[in-house]
Amino acid sequence: MTVHIDASKEDISNIVIMPGDPLRAKLIAESYLKNYKQINKTRNMFGYTGYYKDKRITVMASGMGNASMGIYSYELFNDYDVDYIIRVGTTGAYTDKLDLYDIVLVDNSYSNSAYGINLGYDNNYIESSSKINDVIEEYAKKNNINIVRGNIHCTDTFYTKDYSEYLKYNCVGVEMETFALFVNAKILNKKASAILTVSDSLVTDKKISSTEREKSTLKMVELALESILNL
Ligand code: HPA
């Protein structure tokens, strides 16, 4: 048990899938896990542990933003001996090369968040795990699932006015959680990656409605779950 997670160590797998939304964590558990049980409901940050095929995994929500992701992923890595976290989230596209529903596999996360500095990581970008990415890319290739590898802008401010700086770093989109997740993985010697579905476009202003959003992310979740079998 930690300050924010009311589970015992044995209740959590060493592999965790993290959507932002607690209700998406519930939907993933209900749709894909066998013999699952709820392992956290503190602050409604739902978490479940069960079996996908024969692999024991935990799916737990991160909440929105680096601050929330920072808390939960830190405690999972540090207190629950989690080795791998894969974020499954959404992104707003910065390029017209990305359409709604496209799937991005994150290479580097760029941010001006203070999250890293506060933990002694003084850099504006951080890389995801190449081990996890390789496994995801291999599964996607074998099964003809189209994914785009790219950098992502991780903002602390949803209503950011000027994102032009991040186009210079070849960021293909924006989201709000990868930076804290990858910093925690780095300082705690663990592995983390992120797969993101394009939910809106800052170029065309198109967006997926919130009801479509739930279903639209299932392809990405299946990609994460199947890839985990090969970790
Ligand atoms: N901005 C920030 N985070 C996001 C967005 C966005 O447009 N879409 C999905 N996550």
Whether residue 70 contacts residue 62, with contact meaning beta carbons closer than 8 Å, is answered with no
What would the pLDDT profile of 85-123 be if each residue is shown by its tens digit? 999 999 999 999 999 999 999 999 999 999 999 999 999
Let me know: does 182 contact 111? Beta carbons within 8 Å: no
Q: For 166, list phi and psi in degrees, rounded to 5.
A: -80, -15
Cα end-to-end span (Å), the chain: 27
Buried b / exposed e across 94-106, counting CB within 10 Å, b at 16+? bbeebebebbbbb
Which two tokens mark 60? 């737990």
Give a yes or no: residue 88 inside a domain.
yes
User: How many whole angstroms separate alpha carbon 89 and alpha carbon 87?
Assistant: 6
Structurally, the chain folds into a number of domains equal to: 1
Read off the pTM: 0.97
Q: What is the mean pLDDT of residues 158-169?
A: 95
Q: What is the pLDDT of residue 211?
A: 80
Q: pLDDT tens, 13-45?
A: 999 999 999 999 999 999 999 999 999 999 999
**pLDDT, tens digit, 9 for 90 and up, residues 168-227:** 999 999 999 999 999 999 999 999 999 999 999 999 999 998 888 777 788 999 999 999
Which candidate in 11, 21, 102, 200 is catalytic? 200
- Residue 67 falls inside a structural domain: yes
Q: Is the dihedral of CA 8, 13, 16, 18 positive or negative?
A: negative
218-228 helix and 22-32 helix, angle to the nearest 10 degrees = 60
Q: Which residues contact 214 (CB under 8 A, 6 or more apart)?
A: 23, 24, 27
Residues 122-152 as b/e (b if ≥16 CB within 10 A, e otherwise) read: eeebbebbeebbebbbebbeeeebebbebbb
Q: How much of the chain, in percent, has pLDDT values that exceed 90?
A: 95
Cα of 36 vs centre of ligand 1, distance in Å, is 30
CA-nearest residue for atom 4, ligand 1, is 175
37 inside domain = yes
Radius of gyration of the chain (CA): 16
User: By alpha-carbon position, which residue is closest to atom 6 of ligand 1?
Assistant: 92
Give the residue numbers spanning the domain of 211: 9-228
The pLDDT assigned to 199 comes to: 96
The enclosing domain of 93 has a CATH number of 3.40.50.1580
The pLDDT of residue 54 is 95
Residue 125 lies in a domain: yes
What integer pLDDT is reported at residue 215 of this predicted model? Answer: 73
Whether residue 4 is contained in a domain is answered as no
Ligand 1 pocket, 203 CB below 6 A?
no
Residue 3 lies in a domain: no
Active site residue 205: no
- Give distance in angstroms: CA of 53 to centre of ligand 1: 32
Residue 23 domain flag: yes
> What's the rounded Cα separation, in Å, for the pair 11 and 121?
31
| Domain assignment of residue 165, yes or no | yes
